[in-house]
Amino acid sequence: MKNCIHIPDDFAGFDPCGFCIPQPLASSIHRVLIPHGMIKDRIKKLADDIFKALVEEEVESVSLLCVLKGAYRFYADLQESLSAVNANESSKGHFHIIPEFIRLKSYENTSSQGEVKIMGIDDLEKIRGKTVVVVEDIIDTGRTMRKLLSTLESHQPKKVIVVCLLRKRTPLSDGYKPDFVGFEIPDRFVIGYAFDYNEYFRDLMPLCVISEKGIENFKE
Ligand code: HPA
Ligand code: MG
C-alpha cells in the first residue's frame, strides 16, 4: 500500500453548493469528500504505479478484473489511464490487457449484510495461470475481498494484485491491506462516482458523504 492519499477524520469536506449536483439529490448530500477531478488525477498516478509494478514482473498479459457494480467507473478510468501509459513509446514495457468482470453483492441500506454473494464467476477458469489485477471500489471490513481472493485462488492464477479506490478506516476492519489504494477515508457512508445507497447516486460525479435526510429518503 504505497503513496495512498490520507483524508483525515477531521476533514470537513466541501460545501456541495460549489458543485454540479442534480437538484432532487441536493438534500441527500452532506458534504463533497473528493471532487471528481481529484479522483481522476489520483487514478493517473495509480495507473503509473501499477504499470511499473507489472513491467518489473515482466508480465505479458494482465487480466484486469472489474468487481461490479461499484467499481465500474473506477475500472473504466483506470483502464483508460493504464492503456495510455501502456501505449506510450517512452514507457519501458508493454503488456496485453484482458478485461474481465465479476459481480459481488453484500450491502443493503448502509450496512454490510452477513453474506457476500458472488455472481458471474462461470468463466473464472480464464484466470488460470494469469496475472490478475482485481479492481475494487472500496475495502472496509476486508471480508468481501478475502472471500473473493479465496474464490480466485481456487482457479490458480499466477499472481493476484488488488487495487481499490477507497479504503475506509473502520474498527470493523480485519486488517486486510490491498496492494494499491487511491484514498484512505474516514468511517462515513459515501455516495457518487458509482458508489450507491440502495442503487441510488451511482451517476453522481463527485464522491460525497450522504446526509441523514438522504439515508431516510432512499431507505429500502
Ligand atoms: N458507500 C457505498 N458502498 C459502500 C460503502 C460506502 O460508504 N462502504 C462499503 N460499501
Ligand atoms: Mg464493492
Instruction: Say how far apart CA 35 and CA 87 lie, in whole Å.
Output: 28
Give 3's pLDDT tier (boundaries 50, 70, 90).
confident
pLDDT digit string (tens) for 60-108?
999 999 999 999 999 999 999 999 999 887 778 889 999 999 998 776 6
Q: What is the pLDDT of residue 107?
A: 63
> CA-to-CA distance for 157 and 68, rounded, in angstroms?
20
Domain ranges in the chain are 41-188
Which residue among the candidates 15, 122, 123, 140 is catalytic per the annotation?
140
For residue 133, pLDDT beyond 80:
yes
Q: Please report which ligand is nearest the Cα atom of 198.
A: 1
Tens digit of each residue's pLDDT (9 = 90 or more) over 208-217: 999 999 999 9
Name the least confident of 43-52, 113-122, 147-156: 113-122
The residue to mutate among 30, 109, 110, having the most atoms of ligand 1 within 8 angstroms of its beta carbon, is 110
Tell whether ligand 1 has an atom less than 6 A from the beta carbon of residue 195. Answer: yes
137-148, pLDDT tens digit by residue?
999 999 889 989
**Contact between 61 and 95 (Cβ < 8 Å):** yes
Q: What is the mean pLDDT of the chain?
A: 92
Q: Is the dihedral of CA 208, 211, 216, 217 positive or negative?
A: negative
Query: Has this prediction a pTM greater than 0.90?
Result: yes
Complex ipTM, two decimals?
0.94
Q: Which residues contact 161 (CB under 8 A, 6 or more apart)?
A: 50, 53, 54, 131, 132, 133, 134, 179, 180
**What is the per-residue pLDDT across 174-206, written as a single tens digit (0 to 9) for each?**
989 999 999 999 999 999 999 999 999 999 999
Correct CATH for 41-188 of 3.20.20.140, 3.40.710.10, 3.40.50.2020, 3.90.1150.10: 3.40.50.2020
Contacts with 58 (C-beta within 8 Å, 6 or more apart), sequence order: 93
> From ligand 1's centre to the CA of 149, what distance in Å?
19
Q: Is 122 a catalytic residue?
A: no
